[in-house]
Structure 1
Amino acid sequence: MFPSPAFTATWSPRAQGLLRIIVGFLYLQHGASKLFGVPHVAMFDGLSVFSLMGAAGVLELVGGSLVLLGLFTRPAAFLLSGQMAIGYFMMHAPQGFLPMLNGGELAVLYCFTFLYFATAGSGAFSLDGLRGKTVQDRHRGQP
């Protein structure tokens, strides 16, 4: 039967880590665009850091970097999931119910992807893994 339990045990953490790295990289670009203009998005020209969009940019840049590196992944992903939920309900939901029609598909996708990382952890290739015990191990009382 494919995939075998051995295959799944070996490759699931690696796929999870790869997904975390890609999502973190994509997300931090939103913050970099808002705060530094790179990549340039015209609607963010002149954006104040002390505005709601500026605060979102800080969360995106810092949180996206933490997720990319796999450092404090669970709490960072939890905050970012909440940010995307708030962003969706503030900016997209008032324009209609369906995310495909209100432009909120990406916000919903980020929200639930970050919620996944908040519960599942960082996977392979993470600084959390290099730091030693995971949060899950501490809750189980493992040494």
Structure 2
Amino acid sequence: MQTPATTLDPAGDSAPWSSLWVPRLLSLLRIVAALIFLLHGTQKMLGFPMPMGGALPQLFSLAWWSGAIELACGVLLLVGLFTRAAAFVASGEMAAAYFLAHAPRNLFPTLNGGDAAILYCFVFLYLAAAGPGPWSLDALRRRQA
């Protein structure tokens, strides 16, 4: 027996399910990616969690700038403020990180440790195009305007 079109059924007629959950899952993707990305920034800039080797990057070094971008963009993405711009900058930083730090080590991302950088790059590129989703300060600002 076929289910009615109003049933929340992702396997069948998914229009009602999609219209309800796709925007929310976009927000959830943004929040989770931002939290993990933010941890990279806090590790480099604040020493939490303690970086391997225990040392923070030298002021204004490439690693310091990387941490500053990860911290600032991570916070903005987490709350969904200026999401498209922050995601675009974060995507570019992850592309640069891959080609500067990972690709020279080995051709294969699973061997050079760059698989997370590639994934972040494309998740953030998607967020730059798709926007923050409904659970964001950007959406709240739009509703108030």
TM-score normalised by length of structure 2: 0.87
Cα 1:59–1:44 shift into 2, 3 Å: farther
Matched, 1:14 2:24: yes
Higher relative contact order (CA 8 A, sep 6+): 1
Based on CA coordinates, which of the two structures has the bigger radius of gyration? 2
CA-atom RMSD in angstroms:
1.5
Q: Pick one of 102, 126, 131 that aligns with 1:116.
A: 126
Deviation of 1:3 after TM superposition, in Å, equals 5.0
Divergent runs of 4+, >3 A = none
Counterpart residue number, 2:66: 56
- Please give the residue correspondences for 1:1-143 in structure 2 after superposition, counting only pairs within 5 Å: 2-43=12-53, 45-132=55-142
Cα 1:3–1:84 shift into 2, 3 Å: farther
Deviation of 1:96 after TM superposition, in Å, equals 1.8
| Residue correspondences, number | 134
Cα 1:75–1:44 shift into 2, 3 Å: farther
Q: SS of 1:131's equivalent? A: helix
Cα 1:124–1:50 shift into 2, 3 Å: same
Asked whether the 8 Å contact 2:47–2:56 carries over to 1, the reply is: no
Structure 1 unaligned segments of length 5 or more: list them.
134-142
Which one has a larger percent helix, Structure 1 or Structure 2? 1
Structure 2 unaligned segments of length 5 or more: list them.
1-10
User: How many angstroms apart in 2 are the aligned matches of 1:20 and 1:46?
Assistant: 27
